Amino acid sequence: MRKLLLTAKWFAQQNQASEIQISHLKQALSQLDIIDHKASEKLQTLFKAQQVTWPEPATSPEQPDLDAVASQPRIPYQDAVHQMVLQLEALGFGLSKVISEQRTAAPQAGKHLQALTEVAEVKALLSSKVFDQEMAVEAISDAVMQMSWQGIANRPRASFFFLGPPATGKTYLAQLLGQGLQGYAFKAFDMTQYVSEEEGFGLTGLRKGYANAGVGTLTEFVKHNPKSILVFDEVEKTHTRVQSSLLRLFSEGFLQDAFSNEDIDFRQTLVIFTSNLGSELYSNKTFVSQLQQQPHQARETLLEVIRREKKVEKGHEVNAISPEMLSRISQGSIILFNRLSLAGLTRIAENQVKQDIQRFEKAMGLALKNPQSLALAQMVVLSFAPSFDVRALKARTADLIIDPITDYLLDNPGIELTQLAIGLDSDVLAFLETHQPLDSLIKQLTHKHQRLSTTFEIQQSGKQLHLVFKHPQIEKLSRGDDYGDASGIQVALPEVSFVDIAGHDVIKRRLKEVIDQIHQTEKLKSLGVSLPKGMLLYGPPGTGKTLLAKAFSNEAGLPFIACSGNDLLSEGFIKKLFSRAREYAPALIFIDEIDALPKRGKAGAYADALVNRLLVELDGFSKNGDDIFVMAATNRKDKIDSAIVRSGRIDLHLEVPHLDKGARRWFLEKFLNHPNFAPDINIDRLLTFTAGLSGADMQKIHRESVLESIRQNIDIIPESLVLEQINTLKYGQPLSLAESDQRLKETAYHEAGHAVISMVLLPERKIEQLTVVPRSNALGMVSFDVEEAVDYHKDYLFNLTCVALAGRVAQVKATGPKGLDSGASGDLRQAMRYAYLAIAEWGMSDALPNISPAALRQQTQQDWFVQETEAQIRQWMADATLKTQSLVEQYMPAIEAITQDVLQKEILDAAQLQTHLSNSAH
């Protein structure tokens, strides 16, 4: 009943009556819709008792503000009205009873057409000036339409949250909105200027009594411009307390200026917050698709990402946007701004060139023609690669187009001109035509950090001046933070290819197969097959894993985003790494030494969280359809958490071994072709000595050979010097020992014994060399080719035992009891190991056939067949000793000849050893 009485009071005020009369109550009933039928019947009865007719509904009802009426001074009721109110209360229709509603005003014909026209004008303005932001323009148009019918509430007329990469038109669109909405002032606030709690006073004022006290820039502006568009740029960077100071704006529609104590009315403002938060979603194709098809679901996804964003205040990590502020912001329209396409950039450049020309014409009084406007705009865009910053493009297009003309006019002040023209030479037009469509060129410039560079020429013909751009070329720029920043993330397009890598033919063939799959993504998808998401290259250090990854990147045409395993020890880095990859997708992430990331359960909760973060990212980009391939390298495959390398993640595993002979020959031929090396160097001989070396080792041999020749002042590098560098790398530096002739002879007999018995018993085991040059690892040695495959059968192990014992046997045979010295300790360890493996590990003993005591011990933690094992090992060694003594006796002439020869030459190769053995047999 309150509405009925307040409406009657309003009519009494309109009539300037001193009392609320029955007539006023009658007028009130004509303005209201009775929603309680029982109340209606009682009122009609009371009206008849007062001999008052029931009122007809008003044809043009007015709309009194009942809250405002209630706040006015009280007007007493006429006795008749008072009695009627008391009777209604007695019948159960008290003041709290809702018996009526205000009737909706009759619509005014044609008013909707006016509202639609205004919205259409705003939408047309935004669409003509802001490119590639159709969703943003549509959302703002909807909000403007909503403003046309919504009344004033306790909050701003509209609020927006503009999200997107920098320089996509967020602030510019807000400025245009101010132009499109008649009577709205515009003000932008850079929130990076309010990063401390104290700086927030600049917005809402500082109380009197403090130094620098004064009104706030925000409150003062809105006080004088109640209808205004307010932009808070990069709101996430402002202090949390500053964010909190704006909360009342959304709950009440007012902010108090601390200096003047005035409550400033913000209810007619449009508030726009901009932010770069949620950047990980901007390049996510699945999210962008979801935004277009399911905007409400995408909105929640985006808000969830923003809730997780953090910043640091006074050493503490806090939410980038406080939960309270984000709750208020999310009540408005959330709009994601797209990255600008080539078409959008070209339209911006074309408009900017047109504007600059118009301003130039107006200022100089000269007509300036631009017949090739589209091609010129494309050239301008490519000149602002690789960042394609829109602000720079708008600000500096005149530097590129107009400055050459003004410079010419300044240098030639007396010339008479009537017309100016800007054109592109045929080579520039051909360049642009060749690279159409330009999208692939844009990607190249971005990934390789390049831009288009041109020269210009000014030609004067009579009173006409022609500016012609010519000589297009791709110019490489120095790299900025994005290409080697403090985070360790580097982006490049390597120039190395598979033809530049020696050997590894099987691996290169497999990598090429994966590249073919990447290039046929759509075909595979149509067959229901998904691409592999990652590959692990594992093997010894220096075998070329990183080089293979770079070649893969080049051949596949993927940007190479590289980091080390140590970089993964930061959860923030992992997140940034994959976010960067999405920006450049399709792209390759290369993680060197991925084993630096510990296995879960081995290094604590933080390490576990790092592995989990990596797994989330690996699963995330595969589910989101991002075109990202991960390649990792390691020397220790066993140290990688199994979840990382399981199927569906980094599941292609390729071993990268040491170089084969073909690859080593490629390296040797490459550096031996240099004139500084002797032409008679035997490459086949060096190939034998370089077995087991990596590409890095081969390059080191080359480098050290050259450096040693410089130290010795040798013009032509002989084979012996190269061989010495190989031995130094493999076996250590030669030692300068004051060895007696007797000690050197004993060593020679010892090594000759090994070599001869090996050639007799194991001819398939190829010898590289025999040397008596003392090194850090041995006083002498026989080195063997490690590339040969070996079948460890019983006879082979027994013969290995004999070879190991042959050195001591030969030394004792030649020098007597003095030869029984400690120099054979390593040989004895080898011999005992062969015996143990054959008997205790592999069940090769006649007394313990197919029984492995070592395996039983490992399984039961108890010793098994101890006596039998000892007896068999003793017998094995006794038999090997007898056989070795017999063979040494038989081949002593060959051992003697080899000893004398190696004492003179220091090193003998396999062919020389075989010659001595053959000669001694005749």
Residue-wise pLDDT for 55-82, tens only, equals 877 755 567 777 777 778 888 888 888 8
Region of poorest pLDDT, from 33-47, 94-108, 224-238, 702-716: 94-108
pLDDT for position 483: 42
- Helix (H), strand (E) counts: the chain: 38, 24
751 annotated active-site = yes
Q: Quick one: pLDDT band at residue 640, thresholds 50, 70, 90?
A: very high
Separation of alpha carbons 600 and 604, rounded Å = 8
Cβ atoms of 421 and 464 within 8 Å: the answer is yes
SS (H, E, C) 404-454: HHHHHHHHCCCCCCCEEEEEECHHHHHHHHHCCCCHHHHHHHHHHCEEEEE
| Angle subtended at Cα 166 by Cα 165 and Cα 172, rounded to the nearest 5 degrees | 115
Each residue of 130-174: pLDDT tens digit? 888 887 888 888 888 887 777 667 889 889 988 887 778 888 888
Bridge partner list, 770: 782, 908
A 10 A CB-CB count for 391 gives: 11
Q: Does the structure show a pLDDT above 80 at 338?
A: no
Q: Rounded to a whole number, what is the largest CA-CA distance in the chain? A: 154
- The set of long-range contacts for 676-683, using a CB threshold of 8 Å and a minimum separation of 24, is 676/706, 676/709, 676/715, 676/716, 676/717, 677/705, 677/716, 677/717, 677/722, 678/716, 678/717, 678/718, 678/719, 680/719, 681/718, 681/719, 681/722, 682/719
Query: Which of 149-153, 383-387, 485-489 has the highest mean predicted lDDT (pLDDT)?
Result: 383-387
Cβ atoms of 578 and 621 within 8 Å: the answer is yes
The proportion of the chain whose per-residue pLDDT surpasses 70, expressed as a percent, equals: 91
Q: Does the structure show a pLDDT above 50 at 850?
A: yes
pLDDT for position 86: 82
Each residue of 239-284: pLDDT tens digit? 999 999 999 998 899 999 999 999 999 999 999 999 988 766 766 6
| Average pLDDT, rounded, for the chain | 84
pLDDT for position 99: 77
Region of poorest pLDDT, from 326-330, 520-524, 751-755, 830-834: 520-524
Separation of alpha carbons 70 and 75, rounded Å = 10
What domains appear along the chain, each with residue ranges and CATH number? 2-102 (no CATH), 112-336 (3.40.50.300), 343-478 (no CATH), 482-655 (3.40.50.300), 661-731 (1.10.8.60), 741-921 (1.20.58.760)
Query: Which of 421-430, 660-669, 765-774 has the highest mean predicted lDDT (pLDDT)?
Result: 421-430
Residues constituting the chain = 922
User: At a CB cut-off of 8 Å and minimum separation 6, what does 670 contact?
Assistant: none
Q: Does the structure show a pLDDT above 80 at 24?
A: yes
**Residue type (1 letter), 404:** P
Bridge partner list, 256: 263
User: At a CB cut-off of 8 Å and minimum separation 6, what does 298 contact?
Assistant: 287, 290, 291, 336
Residue with tokens 């503009």: 162
Query: Alpha-carbon torsion 490, 491, 496, 501, what sign?
Result: positive
Pick the more confident residue, 106 or 253. Answer: 253
pLDDT for position 379: 92
pLDDT for position 780: 76
Mean pLDDT score, 874-889: 94
85 HSE (CA, 13 A, CB side): 19
Region of poorest pLDDT, from 19-23, 58-62, 615-619, 797-801: 58-62
The 3-state DSSP class for residue 201 equals: helix
Q: Quick one: pLDDT band at residue 883, thresholds 50, 70, 90?
A: very high
Cβ atoms of 694 and 658 within 8 Å: the answer is yes
For residue 366, give both structure tokens: 């000269």
pTM score: 0.52
pLDDT for position 623: 53
Each residue of 502-541: pLDDT tens digit? 778 888 889 999 888 888 877 877 777 777 788 999 988 8
Catalytic position from the list 555, 583, 617, 751: 751
